[in-house]
């Protein structure tokens, strides 16, 4: 909402700059998804984004900066997703479950984006920490609420993140499965010490709908 009103008052030059940057990031995501990190050649990127090759360097100083920026972009998109979906839920276990299932849903909806995410998470350290903040809060809440019982928080975070990525990878590789999102979420909840029956119950809750 706020965005639309604001945009009109900004200069067109500003909009153009922002738009080009976004075009570049979008193009980079598409290429990432198709070809992996190695395939992201900057002249290809320029072509895909519909600008000349020199223009890339008005936004990023080196190829490294492009890779970083793509990671950050994905992190931002993720944050928004997560915030939207688990807003208003106070149970840590449920929030985490919603997060996992949302990601799984994304893997079904948008395999391209997902491949890019998986690639970038591996590649860009900074990306991981962006995710980690949300996760850590949910883990701690779940523990205080008596749902989680894990020996070490770092390990718990590593397990949740890698297991989720592994499950998403399964989906984008085309494995057919009923309710893959619930299956994955249930296993992750159990690994955190939630009892089998409670894990199933939480994993089966309907996902909150959003206006989007």
Binding-site ranges for a second copy (CB under 8 A) = 37-38, 122, 149-152, 154-156, 158-159, 161-163, 165-167, 169-170, 175, 177, 180, 183-184, 186-188, 190-193, 196
* 80 interacts with, out of DNA, a second copy, none, CB within 5 to 8 A per kind: none
CA distances from 13 to 18, 23, 126 (A): 9, 15, 30
* Cα–Cα dist 49/39, whole Å: 15
3-state secondary structure of 61: coil
Judge residue 212's burial from the number of C-beta atoms within 10 Å of its C-beta, 0-12 exposed, 13-18 middle, 19 or more buried: exposed
* Cα–Cα dist 7/28, whole Å: 24
Nearer to DNA, 68 or 94 (CB): 68
Give least dist CB 173 to DNA, A.
25
Nearer to a second copy, 183 or 205 (CB): 183
* Cα–Cα dist 149/140, whole Å: 10
Which residues are CB-contacts of 115 (< 8 A; sequence separation ≥ 6)? 32, 33, 172
The verdict on 4 binding DNA (CB under 7 A) reads no
The verdict on 34 binding DNA (CB under 7 A) reads no
Give least dist CB 153 to a second copy, A.
10
* Cα–Cα dist 98/94, whole Å: 6
Member of 54, 88, 174, 206 binding DNA (CB under 7 A): 54
Give least dist CB 174 to DNA, A.
27
| Binding residues vs DNA (CB under 7 A) | 11-14, 16-17, 19-20, 40-44, 51-59, 61-64
């Amino acid at each position: 909402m706020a965005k639309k009103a604001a945009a009109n008052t900004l200069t067109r030059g500003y909009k153009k700059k922002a738009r080009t940057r976004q075009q570049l990031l979008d193009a980079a995501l598409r290429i990432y998804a198709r070809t992996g990190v190695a395939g992201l050649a900057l002249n290809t990127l320029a072509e895909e984004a519909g600008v000349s090759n020199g223009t890339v360097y008005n936004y990023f100083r080196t190829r490294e900066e492009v890779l970083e920026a793509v990671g950050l972009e994905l992190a931002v998109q993720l944050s928004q997703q997560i915030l939207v979906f688990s807003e208003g839920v106070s149970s840590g276990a449920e929030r985490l479950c919603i997060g996992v299932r949302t990601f799984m849903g994304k893997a079904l909806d948008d395999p391209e984006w997902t491949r890019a995410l998986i690639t970038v998470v591996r590649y860009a350290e900074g990306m991981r920490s962006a995710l980690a903040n949300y996760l850590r809060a949910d883990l701690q809440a779940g523990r205080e609420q008596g749902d989680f019982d894990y020996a070490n928080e770092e390990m718990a975070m590593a397990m949740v993140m890698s297991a989720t990525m592994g499950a998403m990878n399964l989906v984008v590789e085309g494995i057919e499965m009923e309710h893959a999102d619930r299956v994955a979420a249930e296993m992750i909840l159990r690994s955190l010490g939630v009892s089998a029956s409670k894990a199933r119950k939480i994993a089966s809750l309907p996902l909150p709908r959003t206006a989007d």
